[in-house]
Amino acid sequence: MGAGSWTAAMPDDALGRTAYVNARLLDPATGMDAPGGVLTDGESITDAGPGIKAGGAPKDAEVIDCGGLCLAPGLVDIRVQVREPGEEHKGTIKSAGMSATAGGVTTMLCLPNTMPIIQDMSGVEFVARRARKIGLTKIYPYAAVSKDLEGRDLTEMGLLAEAGAVAFTDGGKAISDAQMMRRALTYARTFGLIIIQHPEEPSLARGGVMNSGEMATRLGLTGIPPAAEIIMVERDLRLVEMTGGRLHFSNVSTGEAIDAIRAAKQRGLEVSCDTAPPYFALNETSVGDYRTFAKLSPPLRSETDRMAVAEGLADGTIDCIASDHAPHDEDSKRLPFGEAAFGGVGLETLLPVSLELYHNGQMPLLGVLAKLTWAPAELMRLGAGRLEKGAPADLTLFDPDLGWQVDADDLASKAKNSPFDGRPVQGVVRRTVIDGRTVFVRED
């Protein structure tokens, strides 16, 4: 696939009316799947529906013919590592924005494990200021739960939320101390905030590099047992019961953990969870002959767990799909498997790999898009993910059926460590619009 072209933000006074016509409108928030169009004025949607056609567009509007392709709200990705500040050799806010817009992502939330860590007001404000200056995807920061991500002392969550932090997490590190998690949930509840947990019991996972089991044994690699995730999920569900707090589990990857979350939701606990495409599209066999691009955290699991993740998405237990975009430079990945860094890039493959759930008949198209748009926006209380009057004019135009093969070297991401390198997929983003501005177009 060609890389496409990007356009930086324009002055507000350059924005006028635009009519996107001849589209298949998809709005998971309302269940709309119908021919029609969207009218934008400046940064907002002014109308959307079957009545918007080329002949009926306002005379002063620029008309964009969508050619019958799918027009949906821009994707909302709630788990991204941008690496800036501190590790710009792996990725930057600009490179993440280019990768995101090429993948139809108009809003993303970034983890706090940068250098310095996002744990004070200046860190929160830096991310928002840089993203606005670059003018690509909107970026909202998470802030750390614990100071220096060490799991001992709480950050000033109330002040950080006032400064713009959307939620609180220690990123790829689990909050392992039960008393610390209890305090975090209690404190966050006071301000109506959400805690995000990377559910992995560290002492069980320590030293492990892939999923425990026959394959790890055959490869001579130390395994991370599924119980590391299950135990942490079950513990934290008890703490939610104790505190009445709001808790979100990221990157769930095991059937038993999903079962526990399903039961907790049925009991009325305020819990939610997401997963990433590798956990429903790949399994541990992707490690193959020590393929470090497939070294992820949590690790790729068994085929049984992969199927359980897909089922959890289909039945609504898993609320959202996030990219878990974790860029690394070659020096971090071109190492023996045991020494290579965990993580893979995922912004540009988020939509096409998620669409496999639709193409395979596991979920309807609107159901898949819901996990990528309004569901994460609602969860994180963002004004995004809808095609309705007054909503931000954040749109993605895509062809759901066009096939292509992922080539990591062709990705817009600065880092190329994609676990899907070489995989045939279907679904191509043609245009990405943010606040009424076309910021990405793919012509080929």
Q: How many domains does the chain have?
A: 2
Roughly what angle, to the nearest 10 degrees, separates helices 93-102 and 121-134? 50
444: confidence class by pLDDT, cuts 50, 70, 90? confident
Q: Quick one: 177 and 305 in the same domain?
A: yes
Considering the domain boundaries, does residue 120 fall inside one?
yes
1: confidence class by pLDDT, cuts 50, 70, 90? low
Residue 26 burial (CB count, 10 A): 23
407 is catalytic: no
In this prediction, residue 11 carries a pLDDT of 45
Enclosing domain of residue 208? 74-379
Q: Quick one: 333 and 406 in the same domain?
A: no
Q: Quick one: 18 and 95 in the same domain?
A: no
CB crowding 48-85: b at 16 or more within 10 Å, else e: bbeebeeeebeeebebbebeebbbbbbbbbbbbbbbbb
Q: Can you give the pTM of this predicted structure?
A: 0.96
Catalytic hit among 324, 394, 421, 435: 324
Task: Mean pLDDT check: name the lowest of 46-60, 264-278, 356-370.
Answer: 46-60
Query: What integer is the mean pLDDT of 280-294?
Result: 97
Q: Quick one: 158 and 27 in the same domain?
A: no
Where does a domain end: 330, 345, 379? 379
Q: Quick one: 336 and 414 in the same domain?
A: no
Which DSSP helix (H) or strand (E) runs through 160?
Answer: helix 157-163
In this prediction, residue 7 carries a pLDDT of 81
Q: Quick one: 236 and 138 in the same domain?
A: yes
Q: Quick one: 266 and 360 in the same domain?
A: yes
CB crowding 327-347: b at 16 or more within 10 Å, else e: bbbeebbeeebbebbbbbbbb
Q: Which is nearest to 250 in space by CA: 381, 121, 358, 109?
A: 109
Considering the domain boundaries, does residue 384 fall inside one?
no
Identify the DSSP state of 270: -
CATH of the domain at 59: 2.30.40.10
Per DSSP, what are the bridge partners of residue 35?
24
Considering the domain boundaries, does residue 308 fall inside one?
yes
9: confidence class by pLDDT, cuts 50, 70, 90? low
Say what percent of the chain tops pLDDT 90.
93
Query: What integer is the mean pLDDT of 69-78?
Result: 98
CATH of the domain at 321: 3.20.20.140
Residue pLDDT, tens place only, 192-233: 999 999 999 999 999 999 999 999 999 999 999 999 999 999
In this prediction, residue 354 carries a pLDDT of 98
Considering the domain boundaries, does residue 328 fall inside one?
yes
Q: Which is nearest to 289 in space by CA: 210, 359, 206, 377?
A: 210
Q: Which is nearest to 258 in space by CA: 201, 315, 341, 183?
A: 315
Considering the domain boundaries, does residue 388 fall inside one?
no
Backbone conformation region of residue 164, classed left if phi is above 0, alpha if psi is from -120 to 50, else beta: left
Considering the domain boundaries, does residue 385 fall inside one?
no
260: confidence class by pLDDT, cuts 50, 70, 90? very high
Residue pLDDT, tens place only, 359-413: 999 999 999 999 999 999 999 999 999 999 999 999 999 999 999 999 999 999 9
Where does a domain end: 328, 353, 379? 379
Residue 13 has pLDDT above 70, yes or no: no
Where does a domain end: 328, 345, 379? 379
Q: Quick one: 49 and 121 in the same domain?
A: no
Locate 255 and state its tokens.
Answer: 């059937």
Q: Quick one: 26 and 112 in the same domain?
A: no
Query: What integer is the mean pLDDT of 78-96?
Result: 95
Q: Quick one: 248 and 198 in the same domain?
A: yes
Locate 380 and state its tokens.
Answer: 């994180």
CA angle centred on 386, ends 384 and 389, rounded to 5°: 105
Q: Quick one: 115 and 136 in the same domain?
A: yes
Q: Quick one: 302 and 325 in the same domain?
A: yes
Considering the domain boundaries, does residue 387 fall inside one?
no
Per DSSP, what are the bridge partners of residue 143?
168
